[in-house]
Amino acid sequence: MKFGVVVFPGSNCDHDTHHALATVLGRPVDFIWHQSEDIAGFDAIILPGGFAYGDYLRTGAIARFSPVMRAVTKFAKSGGLVLGICNGFQVLLESGLLPGAVLRNAGLRFVCRHVYIRVEHTDTPFTRAARPGQVLKIPIAHSDGNYFCDDATLHDLERNGQILFRYVSPDGRESAEWNPNGALSNIAGVINHERNVAGLMPHPERAAESLLDSADGLVILRSMIDSLARRESQSVGASVAERVPA
């Protein structure tokens, strides 16, 4: 089981993600340079937070054209696990691997603080270690995290169970007061229809050690590890393309 963390010019949570997976969870991780189209040997890809290409034009807009994204798209289409965190989520939205887009925060300012998100579905490779409805305390740090999609898309997302995380109060209630950026329907993270590509604005890698206030983010990372372990035991030696998404 090997994780790949993509490094775009301007990624700045790449080392944090590496640390959470390698040091805290003891899993093999390697960086993948944005110019590389070779991602053979990786079982899950994480697009980390940061300001890829300075976030010039729009967040994630230029990163989606980098060579590594061609490979990531292929990997995703063949069922590989892909997680986008914050800026990585924005890249996935821009590249069309996930539905919707993000707007400037409703408050028009960068917001860095802990928020509470509710796990909406536990039947995914990214949340299988969570209890249904579990509330996670995880930090956000962004100025463009205001999730948006049109009504038809929102309807689809709801119907297909693709809204993975919602901003809530510490006791799990939805309300505008606990939505930090104005996101539509309090959406903090979504998953694709095939359930192998997910993205969220909060940073699970920043909530991986209780020394840093919360270790709730481990639920997401452990879910991925669990899922990969299941896949390995189900189809030893099989290629990614043959694997069935969890």
Partner 1 sequence: MIDTEICVTPTLAAEHGLSLDEYARVQKILGRDPNITELGIFSVMWSEHCSYKSSKVHLKRLPTKGPQVVQGPGENAGVVDIGSGWVAAFKIESHNHPSFVEPFQGAATGVGGILRDIFTMGARPIAVLDSLRFGPITEGQGATSAEVSRNRRIVDGVVRGIGFYGNCFGVPTVGGEVAFEPCYSANPLVNALALGVARRDELFFARARGVDNPVIYVGAKTGRDGIHGASLLASAEFTEESQQKRPNVQVGDPFLEKLLLEACLEAMHTGAVVAIQDMGAAGLTCSTCEMASRGSTGIEIDLALVPQRETGMSPYEIMLSESQERMLLVAERGREEEVLCVFRKWELDAVVIGRVTSGGLLRVLDHGRLVAEIPAHPLAEEGPVYSRPLAPPAKPSRAETLVAFAPQGTNLTENFAKLLAAPAIASKRWIVQQYDHMVRTNTVVAPGAGDAALVRVKDTGRGLALAVDGNGRWCHLEPRLGAMHAVAEAARNVACVGARPLAATNCLNFGNPEKPEIMWQFSEVIDGMGEACRALGVPITGGNVSFYNETLGHAIYPTPAIGVLGILDDDSHALHMGFRAPGDAILLLDGAGAAAAEAAAPADLEREFSSSEYARTIRSIVAGTPPAIDFAAEKRLIDSLTALAVMGLLHSAHDLSDGGLAVALAESGFASFFATESLGAHVALQGTEPAEWALFGERGARAVVTAPQAALAAVEQIAAQYQLGLRKLGTVTQGIFRIEYNGREVVSSPVARLRASWADSLEQALAAR
Partner 2 sequence: MKAHVWVMPKQSVLDPQGKTIQHALASLGFAAVKDVRQGKFFVLDLDGMSRDEAAKQVERISRDVLANLVIEDFRFVIVE
Query: Rule CB under 8 A: which residues touch partner 2?
Result: 57-58, 61, 65, 93-94, 100-101, 103-106, 108, 146, 148-150, 182
- For residues 63-82, which are near partner 1 according to CB under 8 A? none
Give the distance from CA 105 to its chain's centroid: 18
From the list 86, 94, 121, 142, the catalytic residue is 86
Which of 38, 123, 158, 213 binds partner 1 (CB under 8 A)? It is 213
Whole-angstrom CA distances from 116 to 119, 179, 225 are 10, 9, 23
- The 8-class DSSP code of residue 218 comes to H
Q: Does the footprint of partner 1 cover residue 20 (CB under 8 A)?
A: yes
Instruction: Give the one entry of partner 2, partner 1, none that residue 58 binds, where binding means its C-beta sits below a cut-off of 5 to 8 angstroms depending on kind.
Output: partner 2
Can residue 27 be called a binding residue for partner 1 (CB under 8 A)? Answer: no
112 is catalytic: no
Element of type H or E holding 114: strand 111-119
Nearer to partner 2, 33 or 65 (CB): 65
Instruction: Check: CB of residue 209 under 8 Å from CB of residue 139.
Output: no
Q: Of 45-53, 77-85, 188-196, 219-227, which segment contacts partner 1 by CB under 8 A?
A: 45-53
Question: Does 208 engage in binding with partner 1 (CB under 8 A)?
Answer: yes
Using alpha carbons, select from 218, 213, 198, 214 the residue that is nearest to residue 19. 218
For residue 53, the partner it binds in partner 2, partner 1, none, with Cβ less than 5 to 8 A by kind, is partner 1
In whole angstroms, give the CA distance from residue 91 to residue 113: 22
SS3 content of the chain, % helix, strand, coil (to 5): 30, 25, 45
Alpha-carbon separation of residue 193 from 70, 147, 158 (angstroms) = 20, 17, 11
What is the distance between the alpha carbons of residues 4 and 11, in angstroms, rounded to a whole number? Answer: 14
13, 48 in Cβ contact below 8 A?
Answer: yes
Q: Which of 125, 139 has the CB closer to partner 1? A: 139
State the residues that interact with partner 1 by CB under 8 A: 9-10, 12-13, 15-16, 19-20, 23, 49-51, 53-56, 107, 109-114, 139, 141, 143, 170, 203, 205-206, 208-209, 211-213
Positions marked active-site: 86, 203, 205
